[in-house]
């Protein structure tokens, strides 16, 4: 079905820039970039999927069943996303909040052209009918002049607005704390939207600036028709490699400092903070429970608990949970059984999602969903869509959301400050 060609690159980083610039004219683009972040479970430095040969686009009704049929029928590389609102396909839930973005709930495509980069090695996997284009495309990309004279990031400067005021945010956190005190939930992720209407942006430029600021291991540029995702996500949702499943939830965030001594102290404080650790442990327990639904008995393990990792903008507390998928469980079922991810919902999960729907004012859509890919043999890797800008170019609507875990130990003012910290990179590239 595909023709594969392999090349050794003299300047891998330069080629990455050339490749992304070359891809701009395609209608469907999925660019996944690790930014050379050293991580134990990484397969590729970057992947680029271009041009839809086939695609599936649907709302949440029977979405996972449709995706399973699509993935098992194509038995090829497919790239796409799962929106948060697929929760309504899994449980008796609904999403009735404000939605100006209008993204489909699920969208995957089978690319015509695929590029895999690892170190100085490039693999190009083209559909057989396009195999005569491989050599010409490679040479065209290699000889492309990288242009620094990008057009302005924005064509206009409609200001970024908060969907809810700080006063309303504090009140809503107070209501969530009342639910916790009553025993309805232990923890819930509460999010707020920042947006601009009648705003035109240059999505490639904004993504490149966001990526330069953040340099995360799960950066994504996604273009599907008029829908764009510009993501600087640091978080892996779920990866399948053979029989092994890996989930790496993040709970716990602290700022970076340019002073190395102070920065080390901030990281140490995060690693010992009882509130942040308790948040993380609660989500680890939730992930273990989710994985146990589709794992071989006794195979669910916590490989790493509450370890602090440092990124350009923030320190993050990350745990790693692994499991062996049980015999006969289809790949898509592993996603369905664990979706939405615990770090973006809460515990107990269903109660938390109901309260989230009540208190938040915006439909989450792709935010706090997942973007990733399936391989021909059914392996997959998906991120968590956070630290991300969503853009509908037809509606000229730009949006990003941020949130945090609310627990019994939460301070409303501090939670609001953490939201602003998480929003800083997105706000900067849009202002």
pTM: 0.96
> Rounded to whole angstroms, how far apart are CA atoms 86 and 90?
7
Task: For each of the domains in the chain, give its residue range(s) and CATH number, in order of start.
Answer: 2-430 (3.60.120.10)
Q: How far is CA 211 from CA 35, 230, 245, 280, in A?
A: 8, 9, 27, 26
Tell me: the pLDDT tens digits for 10-37?
A: 999 999 999 999 999 999 999 999 998 8
Residue 152's pLDDT is what? 54
Residue 155's pLDDT is what? 54
Where does the pLDDT of residue 147 fall: very low under 50, low under 70, confident under 90, or very high at 90 and above? confident
- Average pLDDT in the chain: 95
Residue 158's pLDDT is what? 80
Per-residue tokens: 13:
């980083």
Tell me: the pLDDT tens digits for 372-427?
A: 999 999 999 999 999 999 999 999 999 999 999 999 999 999 999 999 999 999 99
Residue 148's pLDDT is what? 66
Rounded to an integer, the average pLDDT of 127-152 is 88
Residue 40's pLDDT is what? 79
Strands (E), 311-427: 314-324, 346-347, 370-374, 380-383, 388-392, 397-407
Query: Which is nearest to 142 in space by CA: 33, 11, 6, 26?
Result: 11
Where does the pLDDT of residue 270 fall: very low under 50, low under 70, confident under 90, or very high at 90 and above? very high
Residue 160's pLDDT is what? 94
Percent of the chain with pLDDT over 90: 94
Would you please indicate which residues are annotated as catalytic (active-site) residues? 235, 251
Whether the predicted pLDDT of 154 surpasses 80: no
> Rounded to whole angstroms, how far apart are CA atoms 404 and 345?
10
Query: Which is nearest to 89 in space by CA: 71, 58, 63?
Result: 63
Rounded to an integer, the average pLDDT of 65-89 is 98
Rounded to an integer, the average pLDDT of 106-133 is 98
> Rounded to whole angstroms, how far apart are CA atoms 154 and 60?
33
Residue 156's pLDDT is what? 62
Q: How far is CA 18 from the centre of its chain?
A: 24
Tell me: the pLDDT tens digits for 162-182?
A: 999 999 999 999 999 999 999
Burial (CB count within 10 angstroms: exposed 0-12, middle 13-18, buried 19+), residue 376: middle
> Rounded to whole angstroms, how far apart are CA atoms 297 and 306?
24
For residues 90 and 155, the model is more confident at 90
Per-residue tokens: 324:
């062996």
Residue 170's pLDDT is what? 97
Strands (E), 59-163: 78-82, 106-118, 121-127, 161-162
Buried residues in 324-358 as b, exposed as e (16+ CB within 10 A)? bbbeebbbbbbbbbbbbbbbbbbbebbbbbbbbbe
Whether the predicted pLDDT of 428 surpasses 60: yes
Whether the predicted pLDDT of 249 surpasses 80: yes
Rounded to an integer, the average pLDDT of 86-115 is 97
38: helix, coil or strand?
coil
Per-residue tokens: 387:
């630290």
One DSSP character per residue, 265-277 reads HHHHHHHH-HHHH
- DSSP annotation of 159: P
């Amino acid at each position: 079905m595909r023709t594969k060609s392999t090349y050794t690159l003299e300047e891998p980083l330069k080629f990455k820039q050339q490749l992304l610039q070359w891809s701009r004219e395609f209608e469907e683009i999925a660019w996944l970039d690790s930014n050379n972040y050293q991580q134990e479970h990484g397969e590729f430095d970057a992947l680029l999927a271009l041009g839809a040969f086939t695609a599936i686009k649907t709302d949440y009704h029977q979405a996972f069943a449709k995706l399973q049929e699509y993935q098992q029928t194509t038995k090829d590389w497919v790239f796409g996303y799962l929106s948060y609102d697929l929760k309504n396909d899994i449980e008796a839930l609904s999403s009735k909040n404000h939605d100006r973005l209008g993204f489909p709930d699920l969208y995957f495509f089978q690319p015509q052209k695929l590029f895999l980069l690892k170190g100085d090695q490039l693999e190009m996997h083209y559909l057989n009918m396009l195999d005569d284009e491989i050599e010409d495309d490679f040479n065209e990309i290699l000889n492309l002049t990288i242009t620094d004279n990008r057009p302005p990031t924005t064509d206009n400067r409609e200001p970024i607005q908060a969907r809810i005021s700080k006063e309303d945010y504090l009140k809503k956190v107070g209501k969530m704390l009342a639910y916790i005190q009553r025993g309805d939930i232990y923890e819930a992720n509460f999010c707020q939207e920042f947006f601009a209407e009648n705003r035109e942006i240059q999505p490639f430029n904004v993504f490149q600036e966001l990526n330069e600021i953040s340099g995360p291991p799960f950066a994504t540029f996604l273009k599907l028709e008029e829908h764009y995702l510009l993501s600087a996500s640091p978080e892996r949702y779920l990866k399948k490699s053979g029989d092994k499943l890996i989930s790496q939830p993040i709970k716990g965030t602290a700022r970076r400092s340019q002073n190395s001594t102070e920065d080390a102290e901030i990281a140490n404080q995060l690693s010992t903070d009882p509130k942040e650790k308790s948040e993380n442990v609660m989500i680890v327990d939730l992930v273990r429970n989710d994985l146990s639904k589709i794992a071989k008995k006794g195979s669910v393990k916590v490989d790493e608990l509450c370890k602090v990792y440092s990124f350009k903008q923030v320190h993050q507390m990350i745990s790693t949970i692994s499991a062996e998928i049980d015999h006969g469980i289809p790949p898509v079922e592993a996603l369905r059984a664990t979706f939405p991810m615990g770090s973006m919902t809460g515990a107990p999960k269903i109660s938390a999602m109901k309260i989230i729907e009540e208190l938040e004012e915006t439909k989450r859509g792709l935010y706090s969903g997942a973007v990733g890919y399936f391989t021909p043999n059914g392996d997959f890797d998906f991120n968590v869509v956070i630290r991300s800008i969503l853009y509908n170019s037809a509606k000229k609507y730009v949006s990003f959301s941020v949130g945090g875990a609310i627990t019994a130990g939460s301070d409303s003012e501090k939670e609001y400050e953490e939201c602003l910290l998480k929003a800083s990179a997105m706000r900067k590239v849009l202002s």
